[in-house]
């Protein structure tokens, strides 16, 4: 079953074509990689999927529903959630609160019942805290629950960002360069972590990554973008030997 379908999506910024006729079909439960040189349009593709940008042409379909023109927050409610290339945590809040913010979408209580402190809300708040704590325990951050988010080491901030995305109950998780700035050891544990949550939460994962070790290691299928165009698609082995991909990354071989 197809979970996300992009059909001929084009996004321009003035004269620059960031994404041109981009088409991809992601199956439920798949883990798919998106690679390409800097400025190839990878993050733009994520922004179109999450609703930050509206494409000029093409359609975005999520579980048989056309979401091309839908705003960003209802998409999160439907089950699309992401992390960011440059970590975006809520800096003046604690680790636990960061997780709780992501659960606000599922609160479904009016502001009046919240201010009046209705028993229904208090029960819900308690449940949310328990659930958030459980999630933190699962990602091994529970001992830091009351620490402010920026005080965490880099690797744990990345982990917290993924945990926060998980708190929205996503079906499709978009990871934007999760291994950026990590050493090989951290990268290996991140790969293990991504595989673990994918099985545990029954996720479909769409991942942008520069580190070939990650993409080749966990993705079954890889898309390669260059100048907003899909130049190759296939298994890691196929991608590695594709002359177009080598050309995009390393330049044309000098024939002279």
Partner 1 sequence: MTKQRKIIFLIGALIVSGFLIYANFFFDAYVLRILNLIAIYMSAALGLSLINGFTGQFSLGIAGFMAVGGYAASLLTLPIAVKESIFFIRPLIWPFNSLELPFIVGILFAALMTAIFSFLIGFPVLRLRGDYLAIATLGFSEVIRVVSTNTITITNGALGLKGIPAFTNVWWSFGFAGFSLFVIWRLINSSYGRAFKAIRDNEVAAEAMGIALFKHKLLAFVIGSTLAGIAGALLAHLLTAIDPAMFRFFLTFNVLLMIVLGGMGSITGAVIGAAIVTFLFEFLRYLDSPMELGFITIPGAPGLRMVIFSTLLIVMILFRRQGLMGDKELSFAWIEGKLSRFFGRRGDENVNP
Choose between 18 and 165: whose C-beta lies nearer to partner 1. Answer: 165
**Nearest distance from residue 8's CB to partner 1, in Å?**
25
Based on CB atoms, which residue is closest to partner 1, 121 or 133?
121
Which residue lies nearer to partner 1 by CB, 78 or 212? 78
The residue among 8 and 150 lying less far from partner 1, judged by its C-beta, is: 150
Ramachandran angles phi, psi of 105, nearest 5°:
-60, -25
Q: What are phi and psi of 179, to 5 degrees?
A: -100, 5
Kindly list the residues in this chain that would bind partner 1 in the complex (CB under 8 A).
50, 52, 72-73, 76-77, 81-82, 84, 88-93, 97, 100-105, 107, 109, 111, 114-115, 117, 121, 125, 128, 164-165, 168
Min separation Cβ 119 and partner 1, Å: 14
CB of 220 to partner 1, least distance (A): 26
Give the tokens for residue 210. Answer: 């520069």
Tokens 């629950």 belong to 145
CB of 47 to partner 1, least distance (A): 10
CB of 124 to partner 1, least distance (A): 8
Buried/exposed 36-63: b ≥16 CB within 10 Å, e otherwise? beeebbbbbbbbbbbbebebeebebbbb
Q: Which is nearer to partner 1, 81 or 190 (CB)?
A: 81
Task: Give start and end residues of each alpha helix (H) in 79-145.
Answer: 95-103, 111-115, 119-138
């Amino acid at each position: 079953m197809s979970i996300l379908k992009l059909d001929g999506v084009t996004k321009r910024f003035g004269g620059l074509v960031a994404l041109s006729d981009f088409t991809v079909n992601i199956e439920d439960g798949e883990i798919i990689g998106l690679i390409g040189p800097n400025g190839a349009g990878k993050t733009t593709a994520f922004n179109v999927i999450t609703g930050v940008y509206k494409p000029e042409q093409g359609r975005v379909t999520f579980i048989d529903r056309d979401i091309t023109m839908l705003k960003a927050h209802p998409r999160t409610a439907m089950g699309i959630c992401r992390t960011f290339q440059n970590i975006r945590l809520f800096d003046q809040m604690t680790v636990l609160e960061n997780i709780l913010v992501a659960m606000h979408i599922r609160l479904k209580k009016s502001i009046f019942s919240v201010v009046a402190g209705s028993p229904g809300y208090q029960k819900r708040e308690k449940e949310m805290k328990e659930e958030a704590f459980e999630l933190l325990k699962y990602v091994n951050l529970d001992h830091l629950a009351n620490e402010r988010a920026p005080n965490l080491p880099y690797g744990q901030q990345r982990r917290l960002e993924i945990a926060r995305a998980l708190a929205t109950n996503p079906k499709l998780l978009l990871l934007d360069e999760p291994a950026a700035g990590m050493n090989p050891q951290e990268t290996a544990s991140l790969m293990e972590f991504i595989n673990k949550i994918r099985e545990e939460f029954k996720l479909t994962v769409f991942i942008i990554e520069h580190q070939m070790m990650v993409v080749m290691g966990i993705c079954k299928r890889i898309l390669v973008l260059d100048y907003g165009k899909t130049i190759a698609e296939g298994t890691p082995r196929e991608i590695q030997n594709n002359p177009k991909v080598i050309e995009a990354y390393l330049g044309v071989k000098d024939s002279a």
